[in-house]
Amino acid sequence: MELITVSTRAIEGQKPGTSGLRKKTKVFMGAHYLENFVAAIWAGIGGVAGKTLVVGGDGRYFNDRAVQVIIRMAAAEGAAKLIVGQNGLLSTPAASNLIRKRATNGGIILSASHNPGGPDEDFGIKFNMPNGGPAPEEVTNRIFQATKTLSEYRIAEGQDIDLSALGETTFGEMAVEIVDPVTDYAAMMEELFDFEAIGGLLAGGFRIAFDAMHAVTGLYAHEILENRLGAAPGSVLNGTPSPDFGGGHPDPNPIWAKPLVDLVMGPDAPDFAAASDGDGDRNMILGRGVYVTPSDSLAVLAANAPLVPMFREGLSGVARSMPTSGALDVVAKELGIPCFETPTGWKFFGNLLDAGLAQLCGEESAGTSGDHVREKDGLWAVLFWLNILAVSRMSVAEIMSAHWKKHGRNFYTRHDYEGVETEKAEALMESLRARLGTLPGKTHAGLTVAAADEFAYDDPVDGSKATAQGLRVAFEGGSRVVFRLSGTGTVGATLRVYLEAYEPDPAKTDGDPETALAAVIAAAEEIAGIKAHTGREGPDVRT
Ligand code: G16
């Protein structure tokens, strides 16, 4: 093995966003781009010498090349061992599990999640801590600082490692263990859920469809849903991972997973359907004739937690990101357990989970998970639902209807304006921020503003503070709108407008959210001047 020290220069813009560094694949393939960032990770974690890391990704274009680069750079710095998913593949929750189970010093996950993949699309990389969770801001800030001062990095010359060959080999002095990406994860799921009950439900003719969206979850879904639980062959759709996700967006929502939504709304609908994203951490839940919003799904899981073995003893606490609807809060209040409100980004749940303050967390962006890993977990949420359905013997529609009748309904929708010019999006936020103090007491579209502020978070465990986490306007009567700029896009800015209204009357919980929220939508436009600022007539995506 020959060691090379490569001269480089700091590259601008390598600031990790909501979940790691995401850029166009061609940017990552540019000279020194990936290498600089990996060297900055080493600097940000206090060096990699003597350490053991997990490495894997969602299989998107450039995943395999990036794994080889990480192997050579870790070896050059004297890492002890890398545990790598076969063919470079690991879903994000499976990587989180391996980091924890093997008590490693952390891991590197290669993914741009739900963003499309391919030479002209997106790539991403992030570091996860020894607890299995995404690096907190303190660490990502150190990594970012390091990207600004790099002048060289070290890399080892050598043959590529055969990523398809299971077992242990070496690269120079460093051990490289290639593991099956599914085995440990599937074993964990069998412990957490009642596979016998779910298997019984499926054996009784209950039909499911799971859309893996040509992404990494296909491997896991084939093994768990079809092989272990006995779902009919063909229940897993688009189950072979491909580097460009079949040319689609591996984003499990009614826009990008429309064929699945059409299926459940059609005459030959299965009893239950679900989808996951590029790296397997997001989920979408559907039943015959029903789409369950991520916020509602989270509340239903909390309300029914004791039905699954994992939470047989009940929950100690729950948490949601700020823009997620208050449906979870209603359940938590009834259960008499705390409900924490964090900024957007799974990394903010880590401390609450580690401290046992929360055991179930979720976000409106289709992420839900428990304290078994420190990432959101798409298939876990699917199995949780199947377990509830198997024990309750109710349909998805019946569960939703009963939930709303009992707890009221938080009508909810998110409007995304994608690819807006960054200056225009920032001007909208800036203008609104400056006017927040003047809004209370004013009436817009018939709704009177009760409070308006910019969300900030004080972590109750380590006291760290996160500021500028979204602008919130609450109306009298309990409805609200939140404005935020996405931290995961790669082109321009994405303005997210989160709209919500609570309906406690059981007689009024049916209906279409866009209609129920018409006044909140109109008030949001009046308050923020979205059309005037962005030049857009309406949102690109409604979820
Ligand atoms: C990531 C984060 C999530 C966050 C989501 C949306 O998800 O892990 O915590 O809710 O981005 O973030 P934004 O609104 O800033 O785009 P993923 O699935 O992309 O890793």
| Number of domains present in the structure of the chain | 3
Ligand 1 centroid – CA 489 distance (Å): 9
Task: Determine the atom of ligand 1 nearest the C-alpha atom of 20.
Answer: 20
Indicate whether 263 pLDDT > 90.
Answer: yes
Spatial distance between the Cα atoms of 394 and 264, rounded to a whole number of angstroms:
17
Q: Which of 150, 249, 143, 257 lies closest to 209 in space, CA to CA? A: 257
Does 274 share its domain with 308?
A: yes
Ligand 1 centroid – CA 347 distance (Å): 10
Residue 359: what pLDDT?
98
What average pLDDT score do residues 418-434 get?
96
Q: What angle do CA 369, 489, 384 make, to 5 degrees?
A: 15
What average pLDDT score do residues 307-331 get?
97
Positive or negative, the CA dihedral 40, 350, 296, 449 is: negative
Cβ-proximal residues to 393 (8 Å cutoff; 6+ apart), any chain? none
Q: Is there a catalytic annotation at residue 113?
A: yes
Considering the chain, what percentage of its residues have pLDDT values greater than 70? 100
Nearest CA to ligand 1 atom 9: 345
Residue 312: what pLDDT?
97
Spatial distance between the Cα atoms of 331 and 526, rounded to a whole number of angstroms:
32
- Tell me what the pLDDT averaged over the chain comes to: 96
Q: Which two tokens stand for residue 65?
A: 């090349």
Does 159 share its domain with 250?
A: no
Spatial distance between the Cα atoms of 70 and 444, rounded to a whole number of angstroms:
53
Q: Pick from 162, 180, 198: which residue ends a domain?
A: 180
Q: For residue 403, how many other CB atoms are within 10 A of its CB?
A: 21
**Interior/surface letters 450-462, b for 16+ CB within 10 angstroms, e for the rest:** bebeebebebeee
Ligand 1 centroid – CA 209 distance (Å): 25
Ligand 1 centroid – CA 119 distance (Å): 22
Does 415 share its domain with 503?
A: yes
Task: Determine the atom of ligand 1 nearest the C-alpha atom of 363.
Answer: 10
Does 67 share its domain with 198?
A: no
- Nearest 5°: phi and psi at 76? -65, -30
User: Please, are residues 516 and 404 in contact by the beta-carbon 8 Å criterion?
Assistant: no
The tens digit of pLDDT for each residue in 131-154 reads: 999 999 899 999 999 999 999 999
The tens digit of pLDDT for each residue in 238-253 reads: 999 999 999 999 999 9
Does 403 share its domain with 460?
A: no
The tens digit of pLDDT for each residue in 1-51 reads: 799 999 999 999 999 988 899 999 999 999 999 999 999 999 999 999 999
The tens digit of pLDDT for each residue in 39-55 reads: 999 999 999 999 999 99
The tens digit of pLDDT for each residue in 162-206 reads: 999 999 999 999 999 999 999 999 999 999 999 999 999 999 999
Does 396 share its domain with 419?
A: no
Cβ-proximal residues to 405 (8 Å cutoff; 6+ apart), any chain? 506, 509
Cβ-proximal residues to 187 (8 Å cutoff; 6+ apart), any chain? none
Q: Pick from 348, 382, 407: which residue ends a domain?
A: 407
Q: What is the DSSP code string of 262-318?
A: HHHHSTT--SEEEEE-TTS-BEEEEETTEEE-HHHHHHHHHHTGGGSGGGTT--S-E
The tens digit of pLDDT for each residue in 79-100 reads: 999 999 999 999 999 999 999 9
Show the ligand 1 pocket: residues with CB < 6 angstroms. Answer: 18-19, 113-114, 281-282, 344-346, 363, 365, 367, 486-488, 496
Query: Could you tell me the pLDDT band of residue 385, with boundaries at 50, 70 and 90?
Result: very high
Q: Which of 259, 238, 209 lies closest to 396 in space, CA to CA? A: 209
Nearest CA to ligand 1 atom 19: 113
CATH number of the CATH domain containing 105: 3.40.120.10
Indicate whether 490 pLDDT > 80.
Answer: no
Point out the catalytic residue in the list 19, 91, 111, 113. 113
If phi > 0 it is left, if psi is from -120 to 50 it is alpha, else beta; for residue 118 that is: left
Residue 491: what pLDDT?
80
Which segment of 231-240, 274-283, 485-494 scores lowest on mean pLDDT? Answer: 485-494
User: Which 3 state secondary structure label does DSSP give 425?
Assistant: helix
CATH number of the CATH domain containing 464: 3.30.310.50
Q: Is 303 exposed, middle or buried (0-12, 13-18, 19+ CB in 10 A)?
A: buried
Q: Which of 136, 151, 159, 131 lies closest to 39 in space, CA to CA? A: 151
Q: Pick from 407, 424, 445: which residue ends a domain?
A: 407
Does 102 share its domain with 248?
A: no
Does 436 share its domain with 398?
A: no
Indicate whether 543 pLDDT > 90.
Answer: no
Cβ-proximal residues to 74 (8 Å cutoff; 6+ apart), any chain? 48, 53, 82, 174
Does 105 share its domain with 173?
A: yes
Query: Could you tell me the pLDDT band of residue 481, with boundaries at 50, 70 and 90?
Result: very high
Does 147 share its domain with 207?
A: no
Does 48 share its domain with 127?
A: yes
Does 138 share its domain with 222?
A: no
Residue 541: what pLDDT?
87
Q: For a pocket test of ligand 1, which of 279, 344, 417, 494 has the largest count of ligand atoms closer than 8 A to its C-beta?
A: 344
| Residues of the domain holding 420 | 409-542
